[in-house]
Amino acid sequence: MIPTTARTLSDDMSKRVLSLERLHVSFFTDAGELAVVRDVSLSVSAGETLALVGESGCGKSVTALATMGLLDHPGRIVAGDITLGDDVISGFSEPQMRKVRGARIGMIFQEPMTSLNPVFTIGRQLAEVLRLHRGHDDRAARLASLALLERVRIPAALERLRQYPHELSGGMKQRIMIAMAIACEPQLLIADEPTTALDVTIQAQILELLDELQKDLGMAVILITHNLGVVAQYAQRVAVMYAGEIVEQAPVTELFADPRHPYTQALLQSLPGTVDPGRQLNVIQGTVPTPREFPAGCRFATRCGEVLSRCASDVPPASRHGGNHVFSCWQRMESTS
Amino acid sequence: MHAQDSSTGSLIAHTESPWRLFWQLLQRDRLAMAGLGILLALAVVALLGKATTEWLVIFDPTTVRLVDKFRAPLSEASALLPDADRPLTGVYLLGTDELGRDVFARMLQGSFVSMSIGFVAVGISIAVGVVLGGIAGYYGEVRIGPVTVDTLIMRFTDAMLCIPIFFLILVVVALLPASIYNIMIVIGLTRWMGISRFVRAEFLSLREQDFVLAARALGLPAYRIIFWHMMPNAMAPVLVTATIGVATAILTESALSFLGFGVQPPFATWGNILADGKNFIFDAPWLFFIPGFAIFVIVLAFNLLGEGMREALNPKLQRR
Q: Which of B18, B141, B218 sits opposite A102 (nearest CB)?
A: B218
Which member of B1, B5, B17 has the closest CB to residue A164? B17
Contact A78, A90 (CB under 8 A): no
Q: What is the pLDDT of residue B11?
A: 46
CA-to-CA distance for A105 and A182, rounded, in angstroms?
Answer: 9
Mean pLDDT of A323-337: 78
Q: How far is CA B240 from the centre of its chain?
A: 11
Over residues A33-57, the pLDDT tens digits come to: 889 999 999 999 999 999 999 888 8
Question: Alpha-carbon distance A33 to A291, whole Å?
Answer: 9
**CA of A304: how far to CAs of A57, A261, A266, in Å?**
18, 10, 9
Structure confidence at residue A9 (pLDDT) = 45
Chain B residue with the nearest C-alpha to that of A98: B219
Question: Does B6 contact chain A (CB < 8 Å)?
Answer: yes
Please report the DSSP string for A20-62 in residue order. EEEEEEEEEETTEEEEEEEEEEEEEETT-EEEEE--TTSSHHH
Q: Which of A70, A115, A159 to mutate to test the interface with B (most CBs of B within 10 A)?
A: A115
pLDDT digits (tens, 9 = 90+) for B78-102: 777 777 777 777 788 888 888 888 8
B209 to chain A: which residues are within 8 Å by CB? 114
Burial class (CB in 10 A: 0-12, 13-18, 19+), A242: buried
pLDDT digit string, tens, across residues A5-25: 444 444 556 688 999 999 999
CB spacing of B210 vs A164 below 8 angstroms: no
Question: What is the torsional sign of CA A285, A291, A294, A297?
Answer: positive
Q: How far apart (Å, rounded) are the C-alpha atoms in residues B93 and B99?
A: 16
Contact of B18 with chain A, judged by CB distance below 8 Å, is answered with: yes
Question: What is the pLDDT, as a whole number, of residue B9?
Answer: 42
Q: Which of B1, B211, B215 sits opposite A114 (nearest CB)?
A: B211
Instruction: Return the residue of A nearest to B209 by Cα.
Output: A114
Q: A102: which DSSP letter?
A: T
User: Inter-chain contact A101–B217, Cβ cutoff 8 Å?
Assistant: yes
**Mutation target vs B (from A29, A94, A119, A205; most B CBs, 10 A cutoff):** A119
pLDDT at B172 over 70: yes
Residue A142 has pLDDT above 80, yes or no: yes
Q: What's the pLDDT score for residue B36?
A: 93
Q: Which residues of chain B make contact with A156, given a CB cutoff of 8 A?
A: 8-9, 12
Smallest Cβ distance to B218: which of A72, A166, A180? A180
CB-based contact (8 Å) between B11 and chain A? no
| Chain B CB contacts of A74 below 8 Å | 141
Q: Closest Cα partner for A130 from A113, A109, A149? A: A149
pLDDT of residue A335 exceeding 70: no
Q: What is the mean pLDDT of chain B?
A: 84
Note the pLDDT of residue A150. Answer: 92
Residue B3's pLDDT band, with cuts at 50, 70 and 90, is very low
Residue B2: pLDDT band (50, 70, 90) is very low
Does the distance separating the beta carbons of A115 and B214 come in below 8 Å? Answer: yes
Reported ipTM: 0.85
Rounded mean pLDDT, B137-166: 88
For chain A, helix, strand, coil in percent to 5 are: 35, 25, 40
- Mean per-residue pLDDT for A299-307? 87
A277 neighbors A16 (Cβ within 8 angstroms):
no
pLDDT at residue A332 tops 70 = yes
Adjacency order of strands within the sheet including A325-327: A105-108, A188-192, A220-225, A49-53, A237-242, A245-251, A325-327, A319-321
Residues 6+ apart with CB under 8 A from B221: A98
B interface test, pick of A28, A117, A149, A195 with most B CB neighbours within 10 Å: A117
In percent, how much of chain B has pLDDT > 90? 28
Inter-chain contact B221–A98, Cβ cutoff 8 Å? yes
Task: Indicate the DSSP class of residue B28.
Answer: T
Nearest by CB: A118 against B9, B12, B18: B18
Which amino acid appears at position A272 of this protein? Answer: P
Among A200-204, A207-211, B8-12, top mean pLDDT goes to A207-211
- Residue B315 confidence (pLDDT): 66
pLDDT score of B144? 80
Handedness of CA A159, A161, A167, A172 (dihedral sign): positive
Q: What is the pLDDT of residues B188-226, one digit of tens each?
A: 999 899 999 999 999 999 988 889 999 999 999 999 999
The CA distance from A268 to the nearest CA of chain B, in Å, is 31
User: What distance in Å separates residue A288's CA from the closest CA in chain B?
Assistant: 25
Helix pair A170-182, A122-129: axis angle to 10 deg: 20
- Stronger pLDDT, B319 or B255, i.e. the higher one: B255
- Residues 196-225, chain B, touching A (beta carbon < 8 A): 209-211, 213-221
pLDDT at A28 over 80: yes
Correct CATH for B18-51+109-277+289-313 of 2.40.40.20, 1.10.20.140, 1.10.1200.10, 1.10.3720.10: 1.10.3720.10
Q: What is the pLDDT of residues A110-124, one digit of tens each?
A: 888 889 998 899 999
Segment B20-34 shows an average pLDDT of 87
Cβ contacts (< 8 Å) between A181 and chain B: which residues? 217-218
* Per-residue model confidence (pLDDT) at position A6: 42
Instruction: Place B320 in a pLDDT band, splitting at 50, 70 and 90.
Output: very low
Tell me the pTM. Answer: 0.79
Q: Say what the pLDDT of residue A250 is.
A: 93
The verdict on a CB contact (< 8 Å) between B210 and A115 is yes
Asked if B214 lies within 8 A of A133 by C-beta distance, the reply is no
Average the pLDDT over B32-51 and give the result.
Answer: 91
Tally A–B CB contacts below 8 A: 108
- Other Cβ atoms less than 10 A from the Cβ of A12: the count is 10
pLDDT averaged over every residue in chain A = 88
Domain ranges in chain B are: 18-51+109-277+289-313
pLDDT of residue B318: 54
Task: For residues A207-215, give the mean pLDDT.
Answer: 93
Note the pLDDT of residue B317.
60
Strands lying side by side in the sheet with A32-45? A32-45, A16-29, A75-84, A87-88
